Amino acid sequence: MSNKLNDLDPKQWLKFQKSWFVHNPPPRKKGVLVHPAKFPETMAQEFIEFFTKRGQTVLDPMAGTGSTLVAALRAGRHAYGIELNPRYAEIARQMIGEERRLLGQQAEGLTSSVITGNAAHALDFGLPTIDYVLTSPPYWDMLHAKGAETQKKRRAAADLDVFYSDDPDDLGNIHDYQAFLERLVAIYARLKPLLRPKAYLTIIVKNVKKGGKIYPLAWDLGRELGKVYALKDEKIWCQDNQPLAPYGLGSAWVSNTFHHYCLQFRNEG
């Protein structure tokens, strides 16, 4: 039987099909610590190798410090990233350059391009046909939540960003939930002309707790973007190496949220 989706053997294919997985990221390199939220290259590579074949092209429209592009290089794929923050875009270029040096001949002939710009204007950047999108958006404005333990630690370190930027085009600075959701969905919807038919989009996101309630960002994104692309499935990314905090102890149920939703959409053409 021919495998039209990827280069994996049946055993590797089956392993990826489990609906949940535990992935504890390795320590982050010093150069990317400045970014307040990133997903690991090791995990990104697993998704890229399942949803593409070698030599195909991957896009991350919110590239951050370049995790997707580094993972694509390791997997033998071309990759493009769009990043609004010039500082992060430059760090991404540095990380890609370092990875190219480590890979040597393995990276020859592969495109790894970081575009400094707004993903809302992705059609203006002369991108080629895209075979796969892997990305993670801002989790609304949760980086502005002063009570978060990770944010407290980052505030104590003068050289680490607490939130992405002060740019009004930065979705992480939109404080109205509905407005944020609408703009996020619009950005992903505008990518459709770039995607080949049957191309997948994986969006890594989680629901947000704010003001004593939960905002179902992952579920709302699935519902709304599912009107543009087919929502095919989900994988749950679990982390089991984080310390527990006694939220609501003695008075109310407040969970420690150590899971993300990896939503799989497909461009049905």
Residue 3 lies in a domain: no
Residue 85 lies in a domain: yes
**DSSP 8-state secondary structure symbol assigned to residue 223:** H
CA R_g for the chain? 18
Q: Say whether pTM exceeds 0.85.
A: yes
Domains of the chain: total: 1
Sign of CA dihedral 222, 225, 231, 236: negative
Domain containing residue 219: CATH number: 3.40.50.150
Residue 22 lies in a domain: no
pLDDT tens-digit profile of 204-241? 999 998 888 899 999 999 999 999 999 999 999 999 88
Residue 25 lies in a domain: no
Residue 73 lies in a domain: yes
In which domain, by residue range, is 221 found? 34-266
Residue 11 lies in a domain: no
Per the prediction, the chain carries an average pLDDT of: 88
Per-residue pLDDT of the chain (269 residues; tens, 9 = 90+): 689 999 999 999 999 999 999 998 776 555 544 544 567 899 999 999 999 999 999 999 999 999 999 999 999 999 999 999 999 999 999 999 999 999 999 999 999 999 999 999 999 999 999 999 999 998 876 765 655 544 455 345 445 444 445 667 788 888 899 999 999 999 999 999 999 999 999 999 999 988 888 999 999 999 999 999 999 999 999 998 889 999 889 999 889 999 999 999 999 98
Determine the residue type at 101: R
